[in-house]
Protein backbone atom coordinates (compact mmCIF):
# COMPACT_ATOMS: atom_id res chain seq x y z
CA UNK A 1 0.00 0.00 0.00
CA UNK A 2 2.88 2.38 0.81
CA UNK A 3 4.44 1.69 -2.58
CA UNK A 4 1.19 2.60 -4.35
CA UNK A 5 0.93 5.82 -2.34
CA UNK A 6 4.56 6.73 -3.12
CA UNK A 7 4.02 5.97 -6.81
CA UNK A 8 0.89 8.15 -6.87
CA UNK A 9 2.85 10.99 -5.21
CA UNK A 10 5.61 10.67 -7.83
CA UNK A 11 3.08 10.79 -10.66
CA UNK A 12 1.41 13.90 -9.23
CA UNK A 13 4.81 15.56 -8.81
CA UNK A 14 5.79 14.71 -12.39
CA UNK A 15 2.52 16.11 -13.73
CA UNK A 16 2.90 19.36 -11.76
CA UNK A 17 6.51 19.80 -12.93
CA UNK A 18 5.43 19.06 -16.52
CA UNK A 19 2.63 21.62 -16.41
CA UNK A 20 4.96 24.27 -14.99
CA UNK A 21 7.62 23.55 -17.61
CA UNK A 22 5.10 23.74 -20.45
CA UNK A 23 3.60 26.95 -19.09
CA UNK A 24 7.04 28.58 -19.08
CA UNK A 25 6.89 29.37 -15.37
CA UNK A 26 9.02 26.52 -14.04
CA UNK A 27 10.59 28.73 -11.41
CA UNK A 28 8.93 30.86 -8.81
CA UNK A 29 10.88 33.92 -9.93
CA UNK A 30 9.58 33.96 -13.52
CA UNK A 31 7.57 37.03 -14.48
CA UNK A 32 7.34 36.22 -18.19
CA UNK A 33 8.81 34.13 -20.98
CA UNK A 34 9.16 35.76 -24.41
CA UNK A 35 10.09 33.42 -27.25
CA UNK A 36 11.96 31.23 -24.76
CA UNK A 37 13.74 34.13 -23.01
CA UNK A 38 12.87 34.25 -19.31
CA UNK A 39 12.32 37.57 -17.55
CA UNK A 40 12.62 37.17 -13.81
CA UNK A 41 10.54 38.97 -11.22
CA UNK A 42 13.76 40.22 -9.66
CA UNK A 43 14.84 41.82 -12.96
CA UNK A 44 11.48 43.57 -13.28
CA UNK A 45 11.53 44.80 -9.69
CA UNK A 46 15.12 46.08 -9.96
CA UNK A 47 14.36 47.87 -13.22
CA UNK A 48 11.22 49.41 -11.72
CA UNK A 49 13.19 50.67 -8.72
CA UNK A 50 16.01 52.05 -10.86
CA UNK A 51 13.77 53.79 -13.40
CA UNK A 52 11.69 55.33 -10.60
CA UNK A 53 14.89 56.53 -8.91
CA UNK A 54 16.26 58.01 -12.15
CA UNK A 55 12.92 59.57 -13.12
CA UNK A 56 10.93 60.26 -9.93
CA UNK A 57 7.93 61.51 -11.93
CA UNK A 58 7.64 58.21 -13.81
CA UNK A 59 4.46 56.35 -12.96
CA UNK A 60 5.96 52.87 -13.25
CA UNK A 61 4.78 49.86 -11.31
CA UNK A 62 5.98 46.28 -11.64
CA UNK A 63 3.17 45.19 -13.98
CA UNK A 64 3.70 48.08 -16.39
CA UNK A 65 7.47 47.58 -16.22
CA UNK A 66 6.97 43.94 -17.18
CA UNK A 67 4.74 44.77 -20.15
CA UNK A 68 7.29 47.40 -21.21
CA UNK A 69 10.11 44.85 -20.93
CA UNK A 70 8.17 42.39 -23.07
CA UNK A 71 7.62 45.03 -25.74
CA UNK A 72 11.24 46.23 -25.41
CA UNK A 73 12.27 42.91 -26.94
CA UNK A 74 10.51 43.80 -30.18
CA UNK A 75 11.15 47.55 -30.15
CA UNK A 76 14.89 47.11 -29.66
CA UNK A 77 15.03 44.44 -32.37
CA UNK A 78 13.34 46.69 -34.94
CA UNK A 79 15.37 49.71 -33.83
CA UNK A 80 18.62 47.76 -34.20
CA UNK A 81 17.61 46.46 -37.63
CA UNK A 82 16.75 49.97 -38.83
CA UNK A 83 19.95 51.53 -37.48
CA UNK A 84 18.11 53.41 -34.73
CA UNK A 85 19.06 51.17 -31.81
CA UNK A 86 20.98 52.49 -28.85
CA UNK A 87 24.08 51.10 -27.21
CA UNK A 88 24.28 50.18 -23.54
CA UNK A 89 26.57 53.18 -22.98
CA UNK A 90 23.95 55.54 -24.45
CA UNK A 91 21.31 54.00 -22.19
CA UNK A 92 23.63 54.33 -19.17
CA UNK A 93 24.11 58.02 -19.99
CA UNK A 94 20.32 58.49 -19.92
CA UNK A 95 20.21 57.10 -16.37
CA UNK A 96 23.45 58.64 -15.14
CA UNK A 97 22.08 58.79 -11.58
CA UNK A 98 22.06 55.00 -11.40
CA UNK A 99 25.65 53.83 -10.77
CA UNK A 100 25.22 50.26 -12.02
CA UNK A 101 21.96 49.81 -13.95
CA UNK A 102 20.77 46.23 -14.40
CA UNK A 103 20.34 44.93 -17.97
CA UNK A 104 16.53 45.17 -17.70
CA UNK A 105 16.82 48.89 -16.90
CA UNK A 106 19.04 49.39 -19.94
CA UNK A 107 16.57 47.51 -22.15
CA UNK A 108 13.71 49.73 -20.92
CA UNK A 109 15.70 52.91 -21.50
CA UNK A 110 16.86 51.82 -24.97
CA UNK A 111 13.33 50.88 -26.03
CA UNK A 112 11.84 54.07 -24.63
CA UNK A 113 14.31 56.30 -26.44
CA UNK A 114 14.40 54.22 -29.65
CA UNK A 115 10.63 53.95 -29.97
CA UNK A 116 10.42 57.72 -30.34
CA UNK A 117 12.58 57.46 -33.48
CA UNK A 118 10.62 54.67 -35.21
CA UNK A 119 8.52 55.43 -38.27
CA UNK A 120 4.95 54.17 -38.49
CA UNK A 121 6.15 51.34 -40.76
CA UNK A 122 8.75 50.33 -38.17
CA UNK A 123 6.14 50.54 -35.41
CA UNK A 124 4.03 48.18 -37.50
CA UNK A 125 6.95 45.75 -37.56
CA UNK A 126 7.10 45.90 -33.76
CA UNK A 127 3.39 45.03 -33.56
CA UNK A 128 3.82 42.22 -36.11
CA UNK A 129 6.69 40.71 -34.11
CA UNK A 130 4.72 40.93 -30.87
CA UNK A 131 1.61 39.38 -32.39
CA UNK A 132 3.60 36.36 -33.62
CA UNK A 133 5.63 35.92 -30.44
CA UNK A 134 5.17 33.22 -27.84
CA UNK A 135 4.58 35.28 -24.68
CA UNK A 136 3.69 33.67 -21.37
CA UNK A 137 3.05 35.94 -18.39
CA UNK A 138 2.99 34.89 -14.78
CA UNK A 139 -0.76 35.15 -14.01
CA UNK A 140 -0.08 37.61 -11.19
CA UNK A 141 0.88 40.15 -13.88
CA UNK A 142 -2.10 39.51 -16.10
CA UNK A 143 -2.38 38.16 -19.61
CA UNK A 144 -1.11 39.00 -23.07
CA UNK A 145 -3.47 38.99 -26.05
CA UNK A 146 -1.31 38.48 -29.16
CA UNK A 147 -4.16 39.27 -31.56
CA UNK A 148 -4.59 42.75 -30.11
CA UNK A 149 -1.01 43.03 -28.77
CA UNK A 150 -2.49 44.04 -25.47
CA UNK A 151 -1.71 43.37 -21.84
CA UNK A 152 -4.57 42.91 -19.42
CA UNK A 153 -3.72 43.47 -15.78
CA UNK A 154 -4.57 40.70 -13.40
CA UNK A 155 -7.40 41.40 -10.99
CA UNK A 156 -7.43 38.77 -8.25
CA UNK A 157 -10.92 37.58 -7.37
CA UNK A 158 -10.49 38.73 -3.79
CA UNK A 159 -10.22 42.38 -4.87
CA UNK A 160 -13.66 43.87 -5.40
CA UNK A 161 -14.20 47.20 -7.10
CA UNK A 162 -16.11 49.79 -5.14
CA UNK A 163 -19.46 50.79 -6.64
CA UNK A 164 -19.44 54.37 -7.88
CA UNK A 165 -21.60 57.01 -6.23
CA UNK A 166 -23.90 57.16 -9.26
CA UNK A 167 -24.61 53.43 -9.17
CA UNK A 168 -25.42 53.35 -5.45
CA UNK A 169 -29.15 52.89 -4.76
CA UNK A 170 -30.95 56.11 -3.94
CA UNK A 171 -32.12 56.42 -0.38
CA UNK A 172 -34.89 58.56 0.94
CA UNK A 173 -34.97 59.96 4.44
CA UNK A 174 -37.38 58.24 6.77
CA UNK A 175 -40.19 60.53 7.57
Q: What is the pLDDT, as a whole number, of residue 5? A: 47
Q: What is the pLDDT, as a whole number, of residue 162? A: 56
What are the pLDDT digits (tens) for 56-94? 888 889 999 999 999 999 999 999 999 999 999 999 999
| CB-CB contact of 133 with 35 (8 Å) | yes
Q: Which residues pair with 30 in a beta bridge?
A: 40
The ranges of the chain with pLDDT < 50 are: 3-25, 159, 167
Distance of CA 160 to the CA centre of its chain: 23
Q: What is the pLDDT, as a whole number, of residue 157? A: 56
Q: What is the pLDDT, as a whole number, of residue 125? A: 97
Report the C-alpha gap between 61 and 66 in whole angstroms. Answer: 9
Q: What is the pLDDT, as a whole number, of residue 116? A: 94
* Closest by CA position to 112, among listed 95, 129, 132, 136: 95
Report the C-alpha gap between 38 and 138 in whole angstroms. Answer: 11
Report the C-alpha gap between 103 and 117 in whole angstroms. Answer: 21
Beta strands 30-34 and 37-40: pairing type? antiparallel
* Positive or negative torsion for Cα 26, 28, 32, 34: negative
Q: What is the pLDDT, as a whole number, of residue 152? A: 86
Count how many Cα atoms sit within 13 Å of the Cα of residue 121 in the half-sphere of its side chain.
2
Amino acid sequence: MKALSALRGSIVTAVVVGVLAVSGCATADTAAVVNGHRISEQEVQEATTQITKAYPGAKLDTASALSSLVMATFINQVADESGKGLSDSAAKAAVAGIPDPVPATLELVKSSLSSQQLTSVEQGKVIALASKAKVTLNPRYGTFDPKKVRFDVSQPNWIKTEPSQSSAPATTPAG
